[in-house]
Structure 1
């Protein structure tokens, strides 16, 4: 599949819960896109709260789902306990874009409850709010870009084995004590995956760790990030398995704020060199120049 020839023009589908659009439900709009879709599709969601589980299937690439602002365009569901069954929104199609949406799992504090699962290559999210308690964002597989997003949770709330760049994102911990913000799942040194956080800020209540290793070769780095005093002085946790200390890649570069002091950091985390930072803190790590695309400038309704 070579993709759309015209990358500026999208087919417009309007979703309005009050009935003034093409569909009342977001899933109905997705279902209307033909299998093996090969044109840009822009699903414009009018303000409202949409209580539905959403799946973008693998055979429907090039879809954008966009609100006007995240605070008034809310997709919500209440399901937990199962990592793969609980997500409010699941993305399986490549070349997906989410814009200005709140995606919220209201299951609460009694276990796994995923808000967003991204299991596809080349997915980008702009100005979204992604909210739950445990495993909020299953950043599962593929190359992904998150820009100016708000992500909230208490335990392993960004987890998975994608290769992702988080630029200017706000991470907010609701952990009382010792929760981990990230649980990256890289299993071998050969895998080109990991979470890179560039700019942005970390806030919260209680205390939390920057990450712990779901996979033996877990890889997470923070650069130029504001860290409030919610970050534990040790910074990182080995999930009760000291053998992983030898294989994880946890690094920080020119972070600031009361939680960024590395004086008491675990010795198996690192301050990145300028050379390392120059290579990591760029869209090149996700091949972004080849697939990140601007919002369409022209629309057609048929």
Structure 2
């Protein structure tokens, strides 16, 4: 029986550890050394695609670092962007990076700071590192996920403040890496499911992982499921320096479940917004079946969950057949 289980696990690993080193049929290609018909910039490839066609679209990015901001305009077709990878199951093998360093010191809105501005529904991204290298001091997004039905698979999101804006609609983040220090998973209306993600915090005396801006009893929900929360490798983070979240909106709703939480998370678990503007009267901050040194303590404002939040409660009962959902990452 044990040998059967081990063989099954091995087969599963082999399936998941597939490579993607050539462009899928019909995909536009972006390369650091583009051949005829290829593109040197990701934005140029995106701009070459129709926004009115309903035929599925794709872009394949060859290995390299692309210093640009990418805007994906709303479109009728599903769009998938693939990064070159020799192991598509693991962000650690990613060799495609999009990076820039805009902050709200230079532009007027959060959206305009984002390295990737994803405004299209039915959008998927695989094996790409998305980086905003601005650092501390101002809002500086890696990703603005500004539309419903988006999926991010084995990606890496790097920032300091406001790394991911999961703003609206159903969104899935699977087997990805998310790094930051201040409110680095945030938004107002998103129904976002984060599963199997490594959430890493930076050196800071005080930090917050989530900042839900839910302002009424609408559907918005952020769920961190089977994730790992710890300091970034090499970063010095004091015990208890971080909180799982604080309420940007008065009806903030976040759950952390079946996750491993290291001692970087404070025993209080959750934090007010600001002194004199606490915003805690209507929050739902839930935890269930977490482990690790940071998973226990005298939790403030916590809602005791009697069971795990179901993925259907966030992504809907038909999520498994949705075009943006890749079940091989779940």
CA distance in 1, matches of 2:277, 2:110: 26
1:270 matched to which residue of 2?
Answer: 303
Match of 1:105 among 118, 124, 132: 132
- Helix, strand or coil at the partner of 1:246: coil
| Matched residues, number | 280
Superposed displacement of residue 13, structure 1: 1.2
Aligned to 1:134: 161
CA displacement 1:113-161 (0-9 Å, x = unmatched): 1010011010000000000100011111111000011000000001102
How far apart are 1:84 and its partner, in Å?
2.3
Residue 30 (structure 2) aligned to one of 15, 25, 34:
15
Q: Which of 260, 266, 291 is residue 322 of structure 2 equivalent to?
A: 291
Distance 1:265 1:154 in 2: 20
SS in structure 1 at match of 2:121: coil
Which whole-Å CA distance do the structure 2 matches of 1:98 and 1:91 have between them?
10
Match of 1:116 among 138, 143, 158: 143
1:11–1:39 CA contact under 8 A, matched in 2 = no
Deviation at 1:178, TM superposition (A): 2.1
Corresponding residue number in structure 2 for 1:180:
208
| Cα deviation, residue 110, structure 1 | 2.1
Q: TM-score, structure 2 length as denominator?
A: 0.81
Structure 2 counterpart of 1:246, from 258, 281, 291: 281
Of 168-177 and 142-151, deviating more is 168-177
- The whole-number CA distance in structure 2 between the counterparts of 1:61 and 1:284 is 26
CA contact (8 A) 1:92 1:120 kept: yes
- Ranges in structure 1 where 5+ consecutive residues have no aligned partner: 1-8, 296-302
Alignment partner of 1:208 out of 232, 238, 242: 242
Q: Is the 8 A contact 1:200 1:225 kept in 2?
A: yes
Deviations 1:60-84 (A, max 9, x none): 5411111133531000011112412
C-alpha distance in structure 1 between counterparts of 2:287 and 2:142, whole Å: 27
Aligned to 1:156: 183
Contact 2:181 2:202 in 1 (8 A): yes
Contact 2:30–2:40 (8 Å) recurs in 1 = yes
Which sits farther off after the overlay, 218-227 or 232-241?
232-241
Structure 2: stretches of 5+ with no match in the other structure: 1-23, 86-90, 232-236
Q: Which residue of 1 aligns with 2:263?
A: 229
Counterpart of 1:255 in structure 2 is: 290
How do residues 70-85 of structure 1 correspond to structure 2 at under 5 angstroms? 70=91, 71-81=94-104, 82-85=109-112
Shift of 1:246: 1.9
Matching residue of 2:64 = 48
1:217 has 2:217 as partner: no
CA 1:61/1:158 → structure 2, altered by over 3 Å: closer, same or farther? farther
1:116 and 1:227 mapped to 2: Cα distance? 24
Q: How far 1:281 moved relative to its partner? A: 2.7
Measured in 2, the distance between the counterparts of 1:54 and 1:68 equals 18
Runs of 4+ off more than 6 Å: none
Secondary structure, counterpart of 2:46 in structure 1: helix
Q: CA deviation at 1:22?
A: 1.6
- In the aligned structure 1, how far is the partner of 2:283 from the partner of 2:203? 23
Q: TM-score, normalised by structure 1?
A: 0.88
Q: Per chain length, whose mean CA-contact separation is higher, i.e. which structure has more relative contact order (CA < 8 Å, sep 6+)?
A: 1
The alignment partner of 2:167 has SS state of: strand
The Cα of 1:294 is off from its aligned counterpart by 6.5
Contact preservation (8 Å) 1:153, 1:175: no
Return the offset for 1:108: 1.4
Root-mean-square deviation (Å): 1.7
